Structure 1
Amino acid sequence: MKDTTTSSQLVVPRLTISPDLPAVTQEMLRTAKPLELRDPDPAGSGSVWRFLAAPLRRDTLIVCAGAVAFYNGAGPNSPINDLLWPAVGIGATWLVLMTSVPAAGHLATRNRLRRIQEVREQYVLDADLVPAAGQLLARADHAVAAVRRSKVHRDDHLDRQRNDVVLPAKVWDIAEMLRSYSRVERSTPTTATGDEARPVLDAHQAVLQTALEGIERRVTALETYAEQTAQADLRYTELLQIQQISATGSELLELLARSVSDDLAVTEIDGLTTQAATVADAFKTALAQARDSAHALTAPTAA
């Protein structure tokens, strides 16, 4: 196994989403409130009728009753009566807005919670995982992020299109297995209640540990790929720098030719070319190792 001393400092991803979900659903999950993700219960949001009845509060009824009494107290020829129907129209509009706007917002929230509830098994929260499982997911997420930040990935030396599909799928597989592991571990007693239960519990915990080690091997494969990618990235950076230096070779050759013999100038330039070739070969080797690690990710995993 890998040394996980530094991985204990990693932050467990708050939310890991299945890449198979539509992009609009993924965005909805990313913008949802933590409580909505933990407990997506549409019934808990209350009935829409309480919003429809919102304008029928005591203070509203008092104002309406006062207005009616005020208009009734005015004489039949009072200019106040000319304002009656405009005031009624304004009041009716106000009542409609007070009713429809909150009700529409409530319905939208309830529909969103219903959709979140439907896809609850398609995302993993940090709260779903026990500490050991959370750290494994953090290691996997950290390794994939390192690969996708690398220059060789961005410049498509590692089959960027394939990585963008395979790596999220690998992290999701690991997250899903770790959630299942966490559910079993949380339901497993920590101590046996008697001699008969002890061997059963020991066997159960041994199988559980074996399952966790199997998941860790997947995480280790991702970390190996990230390490190989980092090596390729280093060689790639060196190669780019050597190429940048070598780009001025013709000017340097002319400068040297003016100050020393042509033979010495050619020797100096040949030395630069040899160094560039050496770095290029090192980059190709590192890139090949990274690609081998990438192919190992999709190789069948032993049970």
Structure 2
Amino acid sequence: MAKGCGWALGLLAGCAVVLVVCFVIAVEAGPRASFVVLALALLNLCGYLVGHDALRRRQLADEEGRQLARERDHVKRTVDFVADPGLTEEERLAVIDCFIPRLGLSAARSPYRDRFVLVPELDPGARALLERARSAVMSVYTSEAMRTRLLDGLANEVLLPRQIWEIALLLRVQTHLNEEQERAMRGVVTPELMAVLEPQQEALRRSVAAVTARVESLERYAHRVQEADAALRARAALDNNDKYRALLAHTDDADAMRSLEASGDALEQTLAKSVREAIEAGQTLAL
């Protein structure tokens, strides 16, 4: 507001100066010279107004961009949802914008509603399964084996988000079908009704069992990766064996020296086996 008043006062002052100058020139040099000066002044004034308007628009756009970035960051921290990893960055931002009240959008009416799952909308059992899957994936991403590129990082970056998305999608369908079953069971339950519902319930149980098996596969993979991490830590500790050999040399303990060397050889084999099993466990996820 203060800046706007400043610009307005500056504009008025400029107009006053132009009028005074034109009057002086008209008196001294005649009306023709005064007209030329006035035309030039008007051109400068138009340029000033256009420049000010462009600057103001840019400032407003920058401020809007900063505010939108803050609001999007808030949504990422406070709204728990799983998005389709196939979304483009623009589409992902459009999903996030649905949860910003100021924009007047609605998640329920979003054109991408089928491409994200709101975790709070899942039933407790479904949320628990999804949390297990997420925890398994996070343990893989934060593992030392992943950091040191012993695992197929590119495959994990594609495969694991896809696994989480597909699990979340199935859990949402199961939640809706569970609600449907609960509504159907309200009131009087007849043999005819049960004849319809029992096959549906069996199909639902089979689906839940299949999703649970997928989550358990992720957990097994994560466990293999953790075992590989443990082997890596052991390998790092093995590098300290020289210090212990020196200590034993001073104490003249040949048996302990041989034991250290044997443990080192065994550890190399364990490390290779652990990493190989982790990679094989990851490959089975894509089957």
TM-score (norm 2): 0.63
Among 270, 290, 294, the alignment partner of 2:278 is: 290
Query: Once superposed, what is the RMSD of the aligned Cα atoms?
Result: 2.9
State the shift of 1:175 in Å: 0.6
Among 175, 195, 199, the alignment partner of 1:199 is: 195
* Native 8 Å contact 1:133 1:178 kept in 2: yes
CA distance in 2, matches of 1:232, 1:144: 15
In the TM superposition, what whole-angstrom CA distance separates every residue of 1:140-184 from its partner, at most 9, and x where no partner exists?
Answer: 111111111111111111112211111111111111111111122
Corresponding position of 1:154: 147
Corresponding position of 2:236: 240
CA distance in 1, matches of 2:158, 2:138: 13
* Native 8 Å contact 2:98 2:106 kept in 1: no
Corresponding position of 1:26: 92
Among 122, 126, 135, the alignment partner of 1:133 is: 126
* Native 8 Å contact 1:140 1:222 kept in 2: yes
In the TM superposition, what whole-angstrom CA distance separates every residue of 1:41-100 from its partner, at most 9, and x where no partner exists?
Answer: xxxxxxxxxxxxxxxxxxxxxxxxxxxxxxxxxxxxxxxxxxxxxxxxxxxxxxxxxxxx
Q: What percent of counterpart residues are identical?
A: 23
CA distance in 2, matches of 1:292, 1:167: 15
Q: 1:201 to 1:22 in 2, by over 3 A?
A: same
Corresponding position of 2:41: none
Corresponding position of 2:80: 14
SS at match of 2:191: coil
Indicate the structure whose relative CO is greater, using CA pairs within 8 Å and at least 6 residues apart: 1
Q: 1:149-188 residue pairs with structure 2 within 5 A?
A: 149-188=142-181
Among 234, 254, 263, the alignment partner of 1:275 is: 263
SS at match of 1:124: strand
Which amino acid is 2:194 matched to? R
State the shift of 1:14 in Å: 1.8
In the TM superposition, what whole-angstrom CA distance separates every residue of 1:174-223 from its partner, at most 9, and x where no partner exists?
Answer: 11111111122212223563221112111211111111111111111101
Alignment gaps of 5+ in structure 1: 1-12, 37-105
* Native 8 Å contact 2:133 2:218 kept in 1: yes
SS at match of 1:193: coil
Which amino acid is 1:246 matched to? N
In the TM superposition, what whole-angstrom CA distance separates every residue of 1:213-263 from its partner, at most 9, and x where no partner exists?
Answer: 1111111110111111111111111111112x03557xx55x766x577xx
CA distance in 2, matches of 1:152, 1:233: 6
Task: Choose between structure 1 and 2: higher helix proportion.
Answer: 2
Among 179, 185, 189, the alignment partner of 1:190 is: 185
SS at match of 2:82: strand
CA distance in 1, matches of 2:109, 2:85: 15
Alignment gaps of 5+ in structure 2: 1-78
